Every structure is written in C-alpha cells, then in structure tokens.
Amino acid sequence: MKREFVLLKLLLLLLIFPVQGWDWDTHRWFAERLCNDFSCGCIQEIKDGSIAPDKDFRDTGLHHCYDPLSCTESGYWDCPTARKCPSMDKASEWLEKAKTMSGCGKWYAIGVASHYWLDAKCFWHQVQNEDYSSCHKPFEDKVGDRFYKKQTGWTVCQCDVCVSYSDFEQWYAEFRGIVAEALKATAITPTPTPSTPVKTTPAPVITTTPDTTPVSTTPVYNQTPSMTTPVKTTPTCNHSFHVSHSKDHHRLSAPLERSFLEYFPRVQTRFLQDLPGFSLCLSPAIP
C-alpha cells in the first residue's frame, strides 16, 4: 500500500511538473553567454526567454529530436521508430520571429530559440521510454549543478550516457554562428520606402515664324568706290647718293657730289614734311 502511494505521488508530480530538458541553470548559462558575446544589453529578457518553453509554454511534446538511424538500443531506453525533430523546428520558428523584431523583444525570441535548440542536443530527448527518475533527471540535474557553480572541464555520466563541458562549448559555437547569420540578415534587410515619381517637364516646342519682310529691289546709286592703298616701294641703293619719290627719282652721282650740300636742304625739308612716296637713300658715291 505504501509503495502504491509513492508511485501515485510520483505520477502526480510528473503531471504537475512535466518532463523538461536541461536544467534551467544550463539554459540561463547558454543565453547569458550569448548576450555577452553579442553585447545584447537585454540580459534579463534573453534569460527569461531561455526558460519560457518550460516555465510558460509547457509544450514538452515539442522538445525532442528523433533519428532512428543514430540510436542504439539499451536497457535504459528505446529507440524511436520515426524521424522527426519538432525541437529544431521550433528553434527555427523563433529565430525567424527574432528577425522581424527589435530591441529586447528580439533577444527574448533568441532566448526561446536557444532553449528548443539546446534541448534537441540532449541525449535523453533523442530516445523514448527512458528511465526518467534514474537516468534522465539525475543526468540533467548534475549538468545544471556544474553550470550553477560556474565549473569548467567537467564530464557527467549517468546510465551509460556521458556529456562534457567541451560538448556544450561546441554546441554553443554552432548556435552562436546561427544567431550571427540571423542578425546579419536582419541588418541587411532593406526597409521598403514608397517611391516618389520623378517629375518630367516636357521639352518646349520651338515654333518659327517665316520672315515676311519684303526684300528691297531698289538699286543703290552713288556708291563710293573703295580706295586701294598703293604699295610703298623703295628703289635699291647702288652705292650712290639718290633721292626717291613717287613721281620722280633723283640720283646724285659722284660728279654732282659737290652740289649735294646745296640740294640736301631741300630734300631734308620734304622728308620732314613726311611727304608720301618720298624716301632718302644715302650711300658712298662711286666715281
């Protein structure tokens, strides 16, 4: 009778507190490290999100990831018969939600995604009909205790199943890369803006008016002919005294050299008057 009472009490506890994944300390450690690496500034929101599936949603049927090909039969559990992974599906769903959100709401959604994603890595969420009280729960409690005490380099084993701190390091690095891609996609998604139509101004139409002014046919009389300036030429000096003018040419040869002094004043006077066509060429006389 006492044994039946204990079993009934255990059953009630299972109904009130449904089967969970990793200890909440494990999920909080995972979320807090993520926030620190990305400087999210929303530490409380991401930690709240990391335990929301257990604390608020209570959707324990979606926290497993089954793959028959990767399972080996044991006396502690049964292998699944069909492949399905709703835990990873929920993680992807919440990451997609995070892409559409901003502020601390975004990090709450990432925290929720981290819970589902990490539960899919738990061995006891990959098998069925396991011994919960002897294997599943003690295993997760031991791991949570290590994270609560901030220990590193540890290994926990229960019912032939072991996990180490290095496993969590590897899982964290993998999930961190997924979050980085999600944040990158959010950052480069352009915000649609209404397009402003470009105003076009029609080109002006140029019209030409034919010139109707009558052309004058009256002959023009008394036009003054254009004057052509004569080309000024200078006679060549041939080693003698000579005077050149447009109308006459006076050459003073050696025999007349004596009379040049009498002739020169008259020539000089005409030169100073700047008479057109007048030039003076002086050179030694040749006998």
Whether residue 80 has pLDDT greater than 90: yes
- Rounded to an integer, the average pLDDT of 87-100 is 96
Whether residue 237 has pLDDT greater than 90: no
Where b means 16+ CB within 10 Å and e means fewer, 135-170 reads bbbebbeebbebbeeeeeebebebbebebebeebee
CB 195 within 8 A of CB 185: no
Whether residue 123 has pLDDT greater than 80: yes
Q: What distances in angstroms separate CA 148 from CA 11, 85, 123, one per listed residue?
A: 28, 28, 21
Residue 186 pLDDT grade (very low, low, confident, very high; cuts 50, 70, 90): confident
Residue 130 pLDDT grade (very low, low, confident, very high; cuts 50, 70, 90): very high
Q: Based on the domain organization, do 130 and 259 belong to the same domain?
A: no
Residue 21 pLDDT grade (very low, low, confident, very high; cuts 50, 70, 90): low
Whether residue 65 has pLDDT greater than 60: yes
Domain's final residue, options 170, 188, 206: 188
Q: Based on the domain organization, do 24 and 154 belong to the same domain?
A: yes
* Residue 202 in domain: no
* Residue 7 in domain: no
Q: Based on the domain organization, do 42 and 179 belong to the same domain?
A: yes
Q: Domain range spanning residue 90?
A: 19-188
Q: Which residue has the higher pLDDT, 233 or 95?
A: 95
* Residue 195 in domain: no
Q: Structural domain tally of the chain?
A: 2
